[in-house]
Amino acid sequence: MNFQILVDATNSGSGNLEISISINEKNIPNYVQNEGGARFRVKFIPNQIGIYSVRIKFNGLNLSGSPYLCTVYSSEFTFENYEYASINKRTSFLIKPKSNELFNRNLHVDVRTPSGKSIDSKIEEKTANIYVLRFLPDEIGDHKIIFYRDKNKKSVLTKFTSHIYDATKIRISDLPPAVGQQVYRFTGKLDESKNKNYETIIFWSFFLSLLS
């Protein structure tokens, strides 16, 4: 991904502009685009995570504040335990940067309900370089979790789906007599209004082993 810096030398008078970019004392290539009116756009592609030094000189002298430091974070991470969550309970999903790299704190997340509503969500630091996404789901169904590179939401980084459920809505039918070592079946209704049914199969021998 290109990183860009705008240098405005409109009021500096004539002279030579020198720009060098380095990391760990190694220079990396950069490209300077003249935009006219003594304005220049400097572009470079970070080749690793870390702190880059941007040194700008005018007529051989460092500009005030030069060298400037630019921290490049990683946008690669693992998102854990997000598959299922209960409705009306504060939900926390772990975010871990890959290979212990610096995490991009500028990431923006958008959590959308099945009805298309965006709900409040927040990324917080839990421990050193480990973060959590927190939000409070108030609808049953698939929630889309969309990560953007920044708050402008122009570049989607990745997407996940979290299935929000409500265990209090489950209704179990009268349990019939069971026979040992045979498949045991009973039905349950997830939502009376939508008339969605499911069938659960339990091996009686496994059920007995759990009780023992």
Tokens matching residue 204? 């009686």
Q: Which helix (H) or strand (E) holds 210?
A: helix 204-211
pLDDT for 30 equals 87
- Separation of CA 98 from chain center: 12
**What are the tokens at 163?**
């299935």
Q: CA-to-CA distance for 39 and 41, rounded, in angstroms?
A: 7
pLDDT at 208: 43
Q: Above 70 in pLDDT, residue 122?
A: yes
Cβ within 8 Å of residue 128, ≥6 positions away: none
pTM of the model: 0.54
Average pLDDT value for residue range 78-97: 86
Please tell me which residue, 176 or 67, carries the higher pLDDT value: 67
Amino acid at 178: A
Contact 67, 27 (CB under 8 A): no
**Which position has the higher pLDDT, 201 or 155?**
155
Question: What residue ranges define each of the domains in the chain, with the CATH number in brackets?
Answer: 3-72 (2.60.40.10), 77-167 (2.60.40.10), 170-211 (no CATH)
Q: What tokens appear for 88 in the block?
A: 């009306």
23: its two tokens: 């990391």
- What confidence tens digit (pLDDT) does each residue in 8-51 have? 888 887 878 888 999 888 888 888 888 888 888 888 888 777 78
C-beta of residue 188 within 8 angstroms of C-beta of residue 171: yes
Distance CA 206, CA 180 (A): 10
At residue 186, the pLDDT reads 65
User: Which comes out higher in pLDDT, residue 93 or 212?
Assistant: 93
What would the two tokens of residue 145 be?
Answer: 């979790």
